[in-house]
Every structure is written in C-alpha cells, then in structure tokens.
C-alpha cells in the first residue's frame, strides 16, 4: 500500500529537515511503518498531503504531489530521527481531502476516523488511485471494470528511479491502465524483459 506523507509548507510549522520533492525527515516512531511498506511489502509509492495551517493559497488541506521513496537512513545529527529520499517526484493539481459529495478520499466515508495527527500513514491502493485521478496525475480515467482485487495483484511493484540506457520508451497512455498506474509514476515507461520502468 502507498504511504501518505504530511508536508508543511512554511519552516515555522515544520521542525523537521524536509526538502519538498527531495528528502523527507521523520521521527523513528514511524520507522516500523515505513520499513513495513518499503521492505516487507515492496511498495515505495507515496502521496504528499498539505496540512491546513501555513499552507499557500489553494493548497490548504490537499494532496498535492506523488512519487517514490528511497531507503530510510538514520539522521546522525539528531538521534531518533530518520531521512528517506524522494524519487520521481511529480506535482499534481491539489486535491481536497473530501470529494464533491463530502466523502473523505482516505477513508471512503464522511468521517476521517483516527487519521488526524499521523504524519505518515498507509492508504488503500484504490483510494490512492482516486486521488491521482482527481489530481489529473494521468490522462486516462480508471477503467470502471477494474476491481480492487485486480489492482492489488501487483502491490509488490517497485518504483524505479532510473532505467537502463538501452531501454525503448513509450508513452504510458499506450499501455494497459493497470500497468501504467501501478508500475510507474512517470508519464513515460519502458518495457524491459516484460517489466515497466520509469523513463
């Protein structure tokens, strides 16, 4: 499952050493969650979420970008904190926490539940795709016939941060929807030995 990372805009509201789209700094309380999804499940996808306080116009209380996470490394200057690199970051049109009918994207209900106060949290793949679609992160709408179980069959797909120089790239819109959405956060992919890689 992808992760959601809370990213403050103003340094005054962020005591961490983040650099948006480059590196994320977090306390070790979240390390088991990050390791579980990156190492055990093999899912490196993430969404950025902007809190309401201190946000720029149009980004308060929204999801605004996505990409892939690197491996966590300890912060040697600040015990109890970790860094994780951000790869293949893409900004998207800001998406409010609720859809037009008042349903929270993360929970699929009118209630946010116990998600408040959690800077890093997991999100179900279909809810992740709904946010990407609302943010116009890809050009083709999801196939209505695609079921959640079909999307989960590829949950171990890796986000690739580079590609072999010999790869031939095609536009992602020419690929089947599950391949395009599940394997790559880029608009271009290469098919190498039957696997998709970001270009």
- Cβ neighbours for 25, distance < 8 A, ≥ 6 positions apart: 16, 17, 18, 75, 81, 82, 83
146 inside domain: no
**Residue ranges making up the domain that contains 34:** 3-139
Pair 17, 96 in one domain: yes
pLDDT score at 98: 92
Pair 35, 116 in one domain: yes
What are the tens digits of pLDDT across the range 143-192? 444 333 333 323 333 454 333 333 333 333 333 333 333 333 444 444 33
198 inside domain: yes
Reported as a pLDDT band with limits 50, 70 and 90, residue 194 is: very low
How many Cα atoms within 13 Å fall on the side-chain side of residue 181?
27
Res. 76: pLDDT tops 60: yes
Pair 32, 128 in one domain: yes
Q: The domain that contains 78 carries what CATH number?
A: 3.10.590
Pair 68, 21 in one domain: yes
Q: In the chain, how many domains are there?
A: 2
116 inside domain: yes
Pair 120, 173 in one domain: no
Pair 132, 184 in one domain: no
Pair 166, 112 in one domain: no
Pair 35, 79 in one domain: yes
Do 46 and 2 form a contact (C-beta atoms < 8 A)? yes
Identify the residue with better confidence: 53 or 113: 53
What are the tens digits of pLDDT across the range 83-118? 999 999 999 999 999 999 999 999 898 887 766 678
Pair 23, 120 in one domain: yes
174 inside domain: yes
109 inside domain: yes
152 inside domain: no
Pair 131, 171 in one domain: no
151 inside domain: no
């Amino acid at each position: 499952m992808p992760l959601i990372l809370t990213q403050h805009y103003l340094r005054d509201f962020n005591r961490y050493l983040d650099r948006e789209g480059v590196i994320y700094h977090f306390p070790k309380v979240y390390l088991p969650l990050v390791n579980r999804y990156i190492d055990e499940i093999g899912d490196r996808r993430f969404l950025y979420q902007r809190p309401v306080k201190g946000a720029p116009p149009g980004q308060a209380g929204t999801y605004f970008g996505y990409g892939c996470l690197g491996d966590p490394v300890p912060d040697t200057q600040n015990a109890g904190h970790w860094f994780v690199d951000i790869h293949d970051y893409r900004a998207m049109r800001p998406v409010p926490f609720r859809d037009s009918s008042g349903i929270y994207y993360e929970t699929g209900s009118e209630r946010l539940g116990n998600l408040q106060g959690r800077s890093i949290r997991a999100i179900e793949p279909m809810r992740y795709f709904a946010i990407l679609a609302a943010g116009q992160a890809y050009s083709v709408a999801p196939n209505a016939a695609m079921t959640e179980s079909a999307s989960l069959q590829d949950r171990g797909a890796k986000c690739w941060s580079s590609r072999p120089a010999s790869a031939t790239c095609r536009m992602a819109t020419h690929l089947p929807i599950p391949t395009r959405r599940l394997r790559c956060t880029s608009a271009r992919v290469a098919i190498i030995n039957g696997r998709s890689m970001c270009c």
